[in-house]
A and B are shown apart, each in its own frame.
Chain A
Amino acid sequence: MRHFFVLHFLVIFICTGYHTYAQKQKTAVETCEMYLNDGFISDGQYYTYVIQKDEVKQTKITLMGGNTYRVAACGSVSKKIQFSIVDVQGNVLYTNTNFDYAPYWDFEIYKTIECTILLQNNDTTIPTDKSILLIGYKR
């Protein structure tokens, strides 16, 4: 009987934890979308990544000349989501680690260039995090 209660408690605990985790994921999406509401329009795509510890996710992107973009990156749990923009020669054009892990940043593009957005979770206490990346254009 005692084992039954322990098991019952464990199931409730796991389910509640999962529910909270799911809610946090939803919040990350909503937060990221909120950053684009300020005069930006989405590129129509939705990038999600499950980032393991010591892993870097990359997204190849073309930034078109004459546009201003907003890039927003949000973690479900982690507050230390690093996002960097690297050009085809490997030069880092921007990294948010220089700006206290700012969750969004604007980029004014003179001429069309190809680059890569790198995303990683630098919070060592969180082994896996589901992250969202959104890209918007200035209207």
Chain B
Amino acid sequence: MCASFVLFSSCTSDADEKNVETSVGNQQSKSMVGIIDGKIFSVPSPYEFISFINELGISYNHSLINSVNNKKLYESNVKKCINFGVYGIDVAYVTVFEQTSTALTYFSVLKQLSEEIGLSQVFDAKTIERLENNMHLQDSLLIILTKTYREADKRLKNEKQKEEAAFIIAGSWIESLYLLTQIQKEKPNKKIVEKIAEHKYYADNVLALLRPYYEKSEEHKKIIDGIIEICYQFDGVNSQYTYTEPVTYPQLKRTVIQSDTKLDIYTEHLQNITIFTEKLRNSIVN
């Protein structure tokens, strides 16, 4: 238990609530910005994950995704929520490979889970009709999936079901990391290694979202400890940021951000991330 808390603190961001001194380019417009509160974190969306998978030119592997038959194993709310996130990424994965009948089956499981966790309105008749009419259109499916996720996220946050939202997000993060590490294991690729390393950015965010629920039950603890184990490995990924002044085009309402972050991941950390992610993911889905 103590070890867990040590890891917790080592994985959390050091950019906690404090005043921030800012400057715009070379022009020093240092302004103290009072109280900073209400930190909300971003995590990868199914669309982002899929855009990347699409570029790799790899072939579909059905054995990687969570079986729809496992759905009956999920009795607790935590399991239902985290697997909602897992299936969300799986739907995106099958969609990108145009496995339309499989996608429909997975959407059906998402619908059932949504009803069980109080999100039945997300899959209303209109959404189902749109799904049925767009099964052959990959882009439309991904848009529907992302909109469904946003609607779920909105409802959960509005209805003060933040715990459910946090575990759905965690499920998405774990499944995308799991798929990437498994693809990398089968067909090593520098681009995938970079993408895995980029999950470092989300690791602290996911942990921060789950942290308030650590003591809630043994099930909560087990999942969060699994994430801490992975997060600890991400601490070994070195990042080096280089600032370059951005270029803004006011007419186009567009800013080009040219700053760069280099990430270095050691083979040992990559192997450990792969092992720990597989262990956690299998404990979640089975």
Contact = CB atoms under 8 A, between A and B. Distances in A.
Interface of A: 41-49, 54-64, 67, 84-95, 99, 102, 104-114, 116, 118, 120, 135, 137, 139
A116 B38 CA distance: 12
B154 A137 contact: no
A44 B47 contact: yes
15 contacts: A42-B146, A42-B150, A43-B146, A46-B154, A48-B158, A58-B36, A59-B41, A60-B40, A64-B198, A89-B241, A92-B23, A92-B29, A112-B201, A120-B33, A137-B48
B6 interface: no
Contacts of B34: 54-56
The CB with the most chain A CB atoms within 10 A, among B21, B38, B202, B250, is that of: B38
Interface stretch (B72-80, B214-222, B254-262, B271-279): B254-262
Per CB-CB distance, the 9 closest pairs between chain A and chain B, nearest first, are A44-B149, A46-B154, A44-B45, A62-B201, A111-B260, A61-B42, A106-B254, A43-B45, A108-B256
Contacts of A108: 254-257
B111 to A, nearest CB: 17
Interface string B23-51: 11100010001111111111101111001
Given A107-B255, A108-B255, A116 B42 contact: no
Nearest to A43: B45
B248 interface: yes
Contacts of A105: 253-255
The CB with the most chain A CB atoms within 10 A, among B36, B241, B255, is that of: B255
B35 A46 contact: no
A118 B38 CA distance: 11
Contacts of A116: 15
Interface in B178-208: 198, 201-202, 205
Given A108-B256, A113-B257, A41 B37 contact: no
Given A57-B37, A120-B33, A93 B241 contact: no
B22 interface: yes
A57 to B, nearest CB: 5
B147 A42 contact: yes
B64 interface: no
Contact of B202 (A44, A62, A92, A99): A62
A6 B229 CA distance: 63
A60 B153 contact: no
A88 B48 contact: no
Nearest to A42: B150
Given A57-B37, A116-B15, 15 more contacts: A41-B142, A42-B147, A43-B48, A44-B149, A58-B38, A59-B41, A60-B15, A61-B41, A62-B42, A88-B241, A91-B22, A92-B23, A94-B255, A105-B254, A113-B241
Contacts of B253: 99, 102, 104-106
A77 to B, nearest CB: 18
Contacts of A62: 42, 198, 201-202
B20 A90 contact: yes
Contacts of B29: 92
A61 B45 CA distance: 12
B198 A63 contact: no
A67 B48 CA distance: 9
A54 B31 CA distance: 13
Nearest to B250: A99
B42 A59 contact: yes
A137 B46 contact: no
A91 B22 CA distance: 6
Contacts of A88: 15, 241
A34 to B, nearest CB: 14
Contacts of A91: 22-25, 243
A99 B46 CA distance: 32
